[in-house]
Amino acid sequence: MMMAKGARPTLCFLLMTVALLCSAATVHAQKAAAADTRDPREFFFAPSFGDLPDELAEAREAGKLGLLLFFEQEGCPYCERMLKTIFNQAEVQDWYRERFVSIVVDINGDVEMRDVDGITLPSKVFAEHRRIKTTPTLSFIDLGGAEVHRRVTMVSGPREFMLLGRYIAEGRYTDTGWKDYAAEHPDVVDSATVQQVVDFRLEAAAAAASGVNLLLAVTREGCSYCAQLRREFLDPMIRSGEYVDKVRIREMMMEPDTAIRDFSGALTTTAGIAARYGISITPTVLLLDASGASLQPPLTGINNAEMYGLYLDQAIAQAAAARSGDTQPEE
């Protein structure tokens, strides 16, 4: 079949036009996405001289609810994750700035801060004064200077962070625990997600104080089976409330450059922790005692989703028995 004279140039012109339109649409989408995010240091946190009585007075005058203190430190991967995925969201920034004065506090810094009790301290001592043990920590302070809610470790996403803000704004903290409030909003799935480990020594101490072992889910960004583990097993376990007295559930994303503290409190990386336990496949679930020793052979991958919940429950029970001395733990 012969092409009519001039048809090829017309076809080329059409293809070029389509390509240009697609390129323009891509650029427009990128600009729209960029417009929804802004520098959190500029648009979420308020410029502050660290004088909390003055900040409270200004918040009161502006008709706000109080202060939000965000305790961070250099090298904290979960602080960075919140900055890049939550505090940078324009909707989050606008909502919080209307209701709170948000102030960032470096727990290793030397910037002087004046607390509500009038004591002026370097920020690293200020953090100790407020009994801040790890980062990130969120502290909501009402207009009277009282801390009304504290959230230790990372908030999982913007939806949970907005729900947390509403929990304070609605005054529900006065008569309802956070877990019960979150349960009233099952559509906000993030509120039930497993928390990320920042410091293994602190997690082990908390598990020991509760008389339970540490369940560590080692995952990786973009791993579909890791997402399945959270969605179908760990999140429902947390949401049910039935495992609080059985095990402390935590997650560690295996990323080579992510700083973390080990069971001795020494600074290492998530890749270093994974190497310690010989983990190369994700997800892998470990049952650990307070010293970091494995109490059960690891559960690697999800080969049988229908039976996985049973395997997980058996591993938790056997690890509890091993910890109590009924059986010998697996190294």
Is residue 26 very low, low, confident or very high in pLDDT (cuts 50, 70, 90)? very low
Q: Going edge to edge, which strands form the sheet with 213-219?
A: 195-196, 247-253, 213-219, 284-288, 299-300
Tell me whether residue 277 is exposed, middle or buried, using C-beta atoms within 10 angstroms of its C-beta: 0 to 12, 13 to 18, 19 or more.
Answer: middle
| pTM recorded for the entire structure | 0.57
Quote the crossing angle between the two packed helices 158-169 and 90-99, to the nearest 10°.
10
pLDDT per residue as tens digits for the range 157-204: 888 899 999 999 999 999 998 878 887 876 664 445 688 888 999 999
pLDDT per residue as tens digits for the range 218-254: 998 888 899 889 888 898 788 777 888 899 999 998 8
Percent of the chain with pLDDT over 90: 56
> CA 101, CA 58: separation in Å to the nearest integer?
9
CATH number of 193-324: 3.40.30.10
Is residue 11 very low, low, confident or very high in pLDDT (cuts 50, 70, 90)? very low
Q: Which of 6-15, 112-121, 283-292 has the lowest mean pLDDT?
A: 6-15
Q: Which of 85-89, 134-138, 179-183, 209-213 has the lowest mean pLDDT?
A: 179-183
Residue appearing with tokens 């049988």: 304
Residue appearing with tokens 């801390």: 147
What pLDDT was estimated at residue 185? 79
Residue 10's alpha-carbon distances to 15, 165, 236, in angstroms, are 9, 57, 58
Specify the DSSP class assigned to residue 206.
H
CATH number of 40-190: 3.40.30.10
Is residue 140 a contact partner of residue 94, using CB atoms and an 8 Å limit?
no
Q: What are the residue ranges spanned by the domains of the chain?
A: 40-190, 193-324
Number of neighbours of residue 233 by Cβ within 10 angstroms: 21
DSSP characters over 54-94: HHHHHHHHTT--EEEEEEE-TT-HHHHHHHHHTTTBHHHHH
DSSP characters over 171-194: TGGGTS-HHHHHHT-TT-GGGGPP
> CA 258, CA 160: separation in Å to the nearest integer?
23
> CA 249, CA 287: separation in Å to the nearest integer?
10
Residue appearing with tokens 């969201």: 89
pLDDT per residue as tens digits for the range 43-65: 999 999 999 999 999 999 999 99
Same topology between domain 40-190 and domain 193-324: yes
Higher pLDDT, 34 or 317: 317
Is residue 20 very low, low, confident or very high in pLDDT (cuts 50, 70, 90)? low
Higher pLDDT, 132 or 326: 132
Q: What is the CA radius of gyration of the chain?
A: 24
Span 141-168, mean pLDDT?
90
> 186 is written with which tokens?
């099952």
Higher pLDDT, 306 or 165: 165
pLDDT for 30 beyond 50: no
> CA 137, CA 160: separation in Å to the nearest integer?
15
- Average pLDDT of the chain, as a whole number: 85
What pLDDT was estimated at residue 281? 94
> CA 176, CA 182: separation in Å to the nearest integer?
10
What pLDDT was estimated at residue 33? 46
> CA 194, CA 249: separation in Å to the nearest integer?
7
